[in-house]
A and B are shown apart, each in its own frame.
Chain A
Amino acid sequence: MVETKKEYTWENKPAGQKYVGVRNSWNPDAVGVVTGSMRYVHDMSMPNMLYGRMKTSTVAHARIKSIDTSAAKAMPGVAAVLTADDIPDVRMFGDEPVVARGKVMYYMEPIALVAAETPEIAEAALEKIKVEYEELPVGLDIEAMASANPPVVLHTPKLLKSRFYDERPNLINATIGIHGDVEKGFAEADAIVEGKWDVKRFTHMTAGPNCAITWIDPNDGRLNCMEETQSIFQVHYPVAAAVANLPMSKVRFRCPRKIAGAYGNRSYVHAASRALWLTLKTGRPVKLMFTRDETTQITSRPRWRFYFKVGCKKDGTLTAGKFTVYNANGGYGRFGAGIVRNAIFQFSGNWRFPNFRYDSFAAYTNETPMQNLHTFAHQEVCFAVNQAMDMLAEKIGMDKYKFKRMNLLVNDEVNILNEIVRSGAAEALDLAAQHIGWDKPKAPGTGPWKRGRAIDVGNVYINPLVEKPLAYVRLNANPGCDIFGSVHDLGTQINATVAFIAAETLKIPPENCVVTDLDTDHTTFTGSAYANQQAFVAGTCVMKACQDALRKLFEKAAPELGANPEDLDTKDGMIFVKGKPENALPWAKFMLGTTPFIWGMGEAWFPLDAENINTMKTEGKWRRLNLLYMFAATAVEVLVNEETGDVKIEKFVNVSDTRPINVWACDQQMEMAQNYLGAGLYTEMIQDQSNGAYLNTTHLENKWPSALDVPGPSNAVVDHAPSPGMMQPYGIPEPWPDVWGVYGGGKGISEATIVNCQSVIANAIADAIGVRFYEAPIEPRKILQALGKA
C-alpha cells in the first residue's frame, strides 16, 4: 500500500472522527474474497435446476433463413429450445432483442436458448441446432456507417431516434453543442493544432463472466432473478420485468453481496434476460453461465474516432476548439446515445473555451454492441484532448503543465454549458507536478532507452439519474444496525464505506453495521453503481437515516435521563447527557419488547435538470446539468526502447480532487488505476477486419497488465487535493447544504482515477522519442513502425 504523501486536512471534520476519513483497512468482505468463500452467482445452484446455454451467431451480419431446432429438442435431457418465435418481441433499451429476430447484427449474437438437465447436454444440444444464414455485407467503417449513404443499413425500420440527422439510416444519436463562434475563435488564434485520433475496442474482462439463475418461487408464483448487477433498480429489475412481459409485482430481482467485477459490464441484463424465458417455459430454475468468449464478444467499449482542432494565442490562452466524435456503436444501441452526448463533459468540466463546437455521432456497426466501460468515453476523449493540448503547448513553446494549468476552469467559473463549475483540477495538477518533480529536468535515458514524462488532467462527471434516493437503517440493541439501500459492491469496498458512515454517525463499531444484500423486496433506492455515485448518494442517505434513528432513540431516552433529546449523545451503544458519560443508559433499554428496533429514514435530494440534459445547455433557472465533476491529474515517467519499442513505466503519480471517506479504498482505487495504463500500452480487443469478431478473448491474449507490469507501490504516489463537490443549482438557497457531500467527502473517485491513463502514456512516449501516436494502444509494433524500424 502506498502511503499518501500528506495527512489529510479536514477543515470541517468534527473533532474525534473515528471511521470516516481515517485510514482503516477493515472490510466486511475481505476474508470471503481472499479465501474464496464468497459466493458469487456462479457458485450457486438450486434443486431441480436446469442449465442454460446460448446458440450464437457465427457471422456478423445475416438474414436468418431458418433455424432447425428439432434435433436438439429431441435429445434426451433437453427441456427447452427457444428461438425468437417463442418469445414476445420486447426490445431492451429500444432495439435489442433477447435472441436475434430475423437478422443477426454481430458475431456471436444469441440466436437460440437451450435448457437441459446437465451442462454437457446443453452444450451438445447447441451443436444440433442448425441455422441457415443469408449473409449480408458487414458494415464496420466508422464514418461511412454514420453517413447518409452507409454501405449497409442494419435496422429497418429504424428503432432508435437520433436527436439530429435522424434521416441517416444507421444513426442512433447525434448531438451538437455550440458555444460562441468557433470560426472567429480560430481566426484569433496564433497557433492551431488539428488531428484525428482512433481508439480501439477494449473490454471489461471481469473475473466472473456473466451469469444468472432464474426460478419461480412456488410460494407466491413470482419470477425470481439472481444476477450480479450494478444497477438493480434502474436496469435489471425493470428490464427483466419488461422482457418477461410481467408486471413488476410478479418479479423479484436479487444480487449477491459482492459482484465479481463490473466496470460497466453489469449495467446490462445480459444473462437473466435470457435465462428467465427458459424458466418461464419450463417452470424450473435455470442457471445460464456465459463462457469467457460469450462474455467478451457480447460486451465491450465501443471503437472511437475523434477529430479535434484547437487554437490558442501566443500567450497560451485558448481561443477555440472544435471536437467531432464518431462512435462505432455495434449492432444495437444500449447506452450509445448517452455516451456520445456525455463525451462533451470533458470540455465543460475542464477547459476554458471562449468558443467551442461539439458534434457527435453514434452509428450502428456490425460488431459487439457498445457497453459502458469505466469513464463512459472520457478516457478515450482524453487520449485526443490531452495530446492536442501538449501539441499546442509545444507549438507555442510553452511548458505543457503551465499551458494546461492556465486553461483549466477554476472554482465557480461558468463553463461552456452555462454551469457553475466546482473544481479542484488546478490544485490536483499542481500536486501531481510536485510529486513527479516537474520543475526539475528529467534524468537522461541510457543506451536505446529514452526517457519521457507527461502530466495530464481530466475529469469525469457525476450525473446520477437519481432525484430522491432514500435509505433505511434499523438500529438494534446490540448495539448495531442493518442498512437498507441499493449499495452495489463491485469490489469497490462500498460495503465498508457505507458501514463506516453508519458507524461514524451512530458511534458504534463498523463491524456492527450490516449492509444488507440487494433484493428488490426490501432494498430501497439509493442509486446505482455507475458514474461514481455510490459513496456520495447512498452515503448521504445512510448518514441521514442514522441521524434520524438517533433522533428517535434520544426522544425515547430523554425522559429517563431527565434531559432534552437534543442534549443527548451516544457512544458505543450508551446514551448520556452531553458531557456526563458517567450516567449512561444502554440502547438496549429502549429497544425491548414492543419496540425491538428503531428505524431511521434518510432521504436526499439531488435536483436534476432532466429537461436540459438532452439539449446540453442550461437554460432558465438551471445552472447545472451534472451534479458535479471530479478531477484527476496523472503524471508518469517512462523509458522507451528505440530498438524494441518497449515501454517501461518508471513512475506513476495520480492525484484526485476528492476528499476520501474510506481512505484505504480510495487509495487502492488510485493505485489500481495503473492497470489502465494498459489501454495506452497494449490492451485492446483485436478485431477481425472482415467480421468484427474479437480474436483475443482470453486473459492471456487480451493483455491486461498485471500488478507486476506497472510501477507498483514503491514507484507510485497517490494524493488528493480536496475541493467542494456539488455544483449549485440556480435558485436554490446558497450555499447548497450538501456542497461538501457526506462528511465532507463530497465526490466519488472511481472513474477519475483512470481518466488520464491512456493519454498520459501517449504524451510520455511522444516526449521520449518525439513521435505522436494517433491510435491507441501504442504497442511496440507501432513504435518501431513510427521509428522506421519496421
Chain B
Amino acid sequence: MSLRFITRFAHYDAKTVQEATSLLSKYGDKGKPIAGGTALMDILKKKYLPTPEAIVNLKTIPGLDQVMEEGGALKIGALTKLTDLAESSIVKSKFPVIAETVKMISTPQLRNMGTVGGNLCQQVRCWYYNKPDFYCYRKGGPVCYQPGGDNRYGAIMEQKVCNAVIPSDLAVTFTALGATLKVEGPDGSRDVPIKDFYVTLGNILKPNEIVTWITIPEAPSKARFRKFKVRKSWDFAVASAAVATTSKGTVAALGGVAPVVVSGTPDEVSAALDKATPLSMNKYKIQIAKTMLKEAMA
C-alpha cells in the first residue's frame, strides 16, 4: 500500500486529441494530462504542487504511440514508451543517438512506463521545489532557495530567476537533431521548434494543450550523446551534451546546466560555457559539461 495518499480528482480516458484538449479546457489550469504517470504520480503523492481537479489520460488515444519514417524524417508519437522508442528498428538503424539517449534515462522499469511526451514535459527536480515546505519562485513564491542553499546540482548558466536544470535527456538530443513538436489545443495545432519550446519556468504549453508528435527532419550523418551521472546505474544528468551533424550543419546542445537546453554551434556552446555563472557550489559542472561536449564532438 502506498505511504502517501492521493487527493481525489476526476479521471478521464480521452479517446481523441480533441476530447483531451476540450476536457483540459473545461478545467482551465486545474486539469492535467497524464501519460505514463511516472513523473505525475510523484507530484500527486508528494503534493509539492496542488493536486489537479481532473486528470486526462492520453494513453487511451489510439495511434499516438507510433514511431515512423516519413520522407527521411522521423515521426515519434508523444505516447510512445521510452523502451519502444529505443527498440524501434528505424531509430536503431538511422537515429541510433536516440536509442543511446534513452538507455541513459532512469531505469528499465521507468522506461517501460514513461513516454516520450512525458519525458519532454516533466517538472524540474530541484529538491526545494520538490518539497511542499518550500514555496519558491517557480511555484509563485518570493524566493529561489538555491543560491543560499545547497546548489551542487543547480544551473550554471541562463538562470534568470530560477536555478533548476532541465531534467529531460531526450530534450537535449532532440534539440541537437533540430526536432519540431506538434502542439495541439482545442483551437487547432501548431508546430514549435524544440528550442522555442522551453522557457525558464517550464514550457510554452497552455494548460489545455498537449504535445502529440515529435518530428526529426532528417537522419544525422553523425551524432553522439554523452551524459555524466554521479551514480552510474540511474541518475539525472550533472551535465549532458548532444552533438549532431546534418545537412544544415552541426548543432550542439547541453542539458543539466540551465533551466532550458542550451544550444548553438559547438563553438557558440563552448563559448557560452566559458561565460558560465555558477552558483557557490557548482563550478565543477562547467568542467564536466566541457568534457561531455568534447566527448560528444569526438
Query: Closest approach, in angstroms, between the C-beta of A773 and any C-beta of chain B?
Result: 14
Cβ–Cβ contact B231 & A703, under 8 A: yes
Interface assignment of A709: CB less than 8 Å from any CB of chain B: yes
Does A644 have its Cβ within 8 Å of any Cβ on chain B?
yes
B128 to chain A, nearest CB (A): 7
Interface residues of B in 276-291 (CB under 8 A from A): 281-288, 291
Decide if B287 touches A789 in the complex (CB within 8 Å): yes
> Does B150 lie within 8 Å of A688, measured CB to CB?
yes
Is B238 touching A709 in the complex (CB atoms < 8 A)?
A: no
Q: Which of chain B's residues have a CB closer than 8 A to the CB of A590?
A: none
> Is the beta-carbon distance between B235 and A703 smaller than 8 angstroms?
yes
Q: Give CA–CA (A707, B232) in the complex, Å.
A: 11
Interface residue? B230 (CB, 8 A): yes
Residues in A neighbouring B5, C-beta threshold 8 A: 119-120, 122-123
Contact of A644 with B150 in the complex, beta carbons under 8 Å: no
Give bound CA distance, A689 to B5, whole Å.
Answer: 30
| Cβ–Cβ contact B284 & A682, under 8 A | no
Q: Which of B200-240 contact A (CB under 8 A)?
A: 228, 230-235, 238
How far is it, in angstroms, between the C-alpha of A646 and the C-alpha of B238 when the chains are bound? 12
Interface flags for A650-690 (1: CB within 8 Å of B; 0: not) read 00000000000000000000000000001000100011111
A688 to B234, CA, bound (A): 24
The answer to whether B288 and A780 touch across the interface, beta carbons within 8 angstroms, is yes
Does B1 touch A at the CB level, under 8 Å?
yes
Cβ-closest chain B residue relative to A209:
B3
Contact (A695, B3) CB under 8 Å given A643-B291, A706-B234, A708-B233: no
> B285: which A residues are within 8 A, CB to CB?
790
Closest to B230 in A: A682
Say whether A171 faces chain B, with CB atoms less than 8 Å apart: no
CA distance A396 to B8 in the complex (A): 69
Residue of B nearest to A696 (CB): B127
A500 vs B281: C-alpha distance when bound (angstroms)? 53
Count of chain A residues near B, Cβ 8 A: 41
B152 touches A708 (CB 8 A): no
A645 touching B288 by the CB < 8 A rule?
A: yes
Bound complex: CA A515 to CA B146 (Å): 52
* A699 vs chain B, min Cβ distance (A): 9
State which of B1, B286, B287 has its C-beta within 8 Å of the C-beta of A42.
B1
CB of A120 within 8 A of CB of B7, answer yes
Query: In the complex, what residues of B have CB within 8 A of residue A693's CB?
Result: 133
Q: Bin the interface of chain B by size.
A: 20 to 34
B4: interface (CB < 8 Å): yes
- Is B28 at the interface (CB under 8 A from chain A)? no
CB neighbours of A586 from chain B (8 A): none
- Flag if B149 contacts A644 (CB, 8 Å): no
Chain B residues, CB < 8 A from A789 = 284, 287
Contact B232 A708 (CB under 8 A): yes
A703: chain B residues at CB < 8 Å are 230-231, 235
Q: B233 and A701: CB pair below 8 A?
A: no
A790 partner, pick from B127, B150, B287, beta carbons under 8 A: B287
Q: Using A58-B133, A706-B233, A785-B284 as known contacts, say yes or no to A644 and B1 having CB atoms under 8 A apart.
A: no
Tell me if A450 counts as interface (CB < 8 A to partner B).
Answer: no
Q: Mark A239-254, 1 if CB is under 8 A from B, else 0.
A: 0000000000000000
Given known A705-B233, A709-B231, contact A781–B3 (CB-CB < 8 A): no
Other-chain residue from A209, A292, A784 in contact with B284 (beta carbon distance below 8 A) = A784
Asked if A183 CB lies within 8 Å of chain B CBs, one says no
Pick from B3, B149, B283, B287: contact of A289, CB below 8 A. Answer: B3
A761 CB to nearest chain B CB (Å): 14
Residues of B near A701 (CB, < 8 A) are: 127
CB contacts under 8 Å to B, within A686-729, are: 686-690, 693, 695-696, 700-701, 703, 705-709
Within 8 A of A (CB), among B243-298: 281-288, 291
**At the interface, yes or no: A233 with Cβ under 8 Å from chain B?**
no
Inter-chain residue pair count (beta carbon < 8 A): 88
A122, closest chain B residue (CB): B5
Residues of the A chain whose Cβ atoms lie less than 8 Å from the Cβ of B3: 42, 209, 289-292
CA A579 to CA B283, docked complex, whole Å: 78
In the bound complex, how far is the Cα of B230 from the Cα of A781, in angstroms? 9
Q: A291-B3, A291-B4, A292-B3 are in contact. Are A790 and B230 (CB under 8 A)?
A: no
Whether the Cβ atoms of B238 and A780 lie closer than 8 Å is yes
- Complex Cα distance, B284 from A779, in Å, reads 11
By a CB distance below 8 angstroms, the chain A residues around B232 are: 708-709
User: Which residues from 123 to 163 on chain B have a C-beta closer than 8 Å to any C-beta of chain A?
Assistant: 127-128, 131, 133, 148-150, 152
In the complex, the chain B residue whose C-beta lies closest to that of A645 is B284
CB of A582 within 8 Å of the partner chain:
no
Which residue of A43, A58, A291, A644 contacts B287 across the interface (Cβ within 8 Å)?
A644
B283, A790: Cβ atoms closer than 8 Å:
yes
Residues of B contacting A706 in the complex (Cβ-Cβ under 8 angstroms): 231, 233-234
Residue of A nearest to B148 (CB): A690
Distance of A578 from chain B, by nearest CB (Å): 56
Q: Which of A43, A644, A779, A785 contacts B291 (CB 8 A)?
A: A644
Identify A780's interface contact among B4, B149, B230, B286, CB under 8 A.
Answer: B230
What is the CB-to-nearest-CB distance from B288 to chain A, in angstroms, rounded to a whole number? 5
Residues of A within 8 A of B291 (CB): 643-644
Closest to A108 in B: B133
Q: Establish whether residues A688 and B284, one from each chain, have CB atoms under 8 Å apart when the complex forms.
A: no
CB contacts (< 8 Å) of B228 on chain A: these are: 644, 646, 780
Docked-complex contact A695 and B128, CB < 8 angstroms: yes
Chain B nearest Cβ from A572, distance in angstroms: 44
Question: Nearest Cβ distance between residue A308 and chain B, in whole angstroms?
Answer: 27
Which A residues lie within 8 Å of B4 (CB)?
A: 291
Whole-angstrom CA separation of A81 from B152 in the bound complex: 40
Given A705-B231, A705-B233, A643–B287 Cβ distance below 8 Å? yes
Contacts of A289 in B (CB 8 A): 1, 3
Looking at B148, B232, B282, which has the most chain A CB atoms within 10 Å of its CB? Answer: B232
Complexed CA–CA distance, A466 and B282 (Å) = 50
The complex places the Cα of A784 from the Cα of B228 at a distance, in Å, of 14
Q: How far is the CA of A706 from the CA of B231 in the complex (A)?
A: 9
How far in angstroms is the closest Cβ of chain B from A369? 20
Per the 8 Å Cβ criterion, residues 283-299 of A in contact with B are 289-292
In the complex, chain B residues 1-34 whose Cβ is within 8 Å of any chain A Cβ: 1, 3-8
Query: With contacts A682-B230, A706-B233 known, is A689 near B149, CB below 8 A?
Result: yes
Give the residue name and chain of the A residue nearest to B46 (CB).
Answer: A293
Bound: A678/B133 CA distance, A:
29
Residue from A120, A122, A643 whose CB has the most chain B CB atoms within 10 Å: A643
Task: Name B294's closest neighbour in chain A (CB-CB).
Answer: A643
Residues of chain A contacted by B282 (CB below 8 angstroms): 781
A119 to chain B: closest residue by CB: B5
Residues of chain A lying within 8 A (CB to CB) of residue B131: 695
CA distance A709 to B238 in the complex (A): 17
Once bound together, how far apart are the Cα atoms of A120 and B128, in whole Å? Answer: 25
Q: With the chains together, A687 CA to B4 CA distance in Å?
A: 23
Complex contacts, A291 vs chain B, CB 8 Å: 3-4
> How distant is the Cα of A209 from the Cα of B2 in the complex, in angstroms?
11
**B288, A695: Cβ atoms closer than 8 Å:** no
Judge whether B152 and A781 touch: CB under 8 Å: yes
Chain A residues with CB below 8 A from B7, complex form: 120
Q: A120-B5, A688-B150 are in contact. Are A790 and B234 (CB under 8 A)?
A: no
A-B CB contact pairs (8 Å), 26 listed: A43-B1, A291-B4, A643-B287, A644-B228, A644-B287, A644-B291, A682-B230, A686-B127, A688-B150, A690-B149, A700-B234, A703-B230, A705-B231, A705-B233, A707-B233, A780-B228, A780-B230, A780-B284, A781-B281, A781-B282, A784-B287, A784-B288, A785-B283, A790-B283, A790-B284, A790-B285
Q: Which 3 A-B pairs have the closest CB atoms?
A: A790-B284, A708-B233, A784-B284
Q: Which residues of A contact B (CB under 8 A)?
A: 42-43, 58, 119-120, 122-123, 209, 289-292, 643-646, 678, 682, 686-690, 693, 695-696, 700-701, 703, 705-709, 779-781, 784-785, 789-790
Mark B residues whose CB is within 8 Å of A. 1, 3-8, 127-128, 131, 133, 148-150, 152, 228, 230-235, 238, 281-288, 291
In addition to A689-B149, A695-B150, 7 A-B residue pairs with Cβ atoms within 8 Å of each other are A644-B288, A682-B231, A686-B127, A686-B152, A695-B128, A700-B234, A784-B288
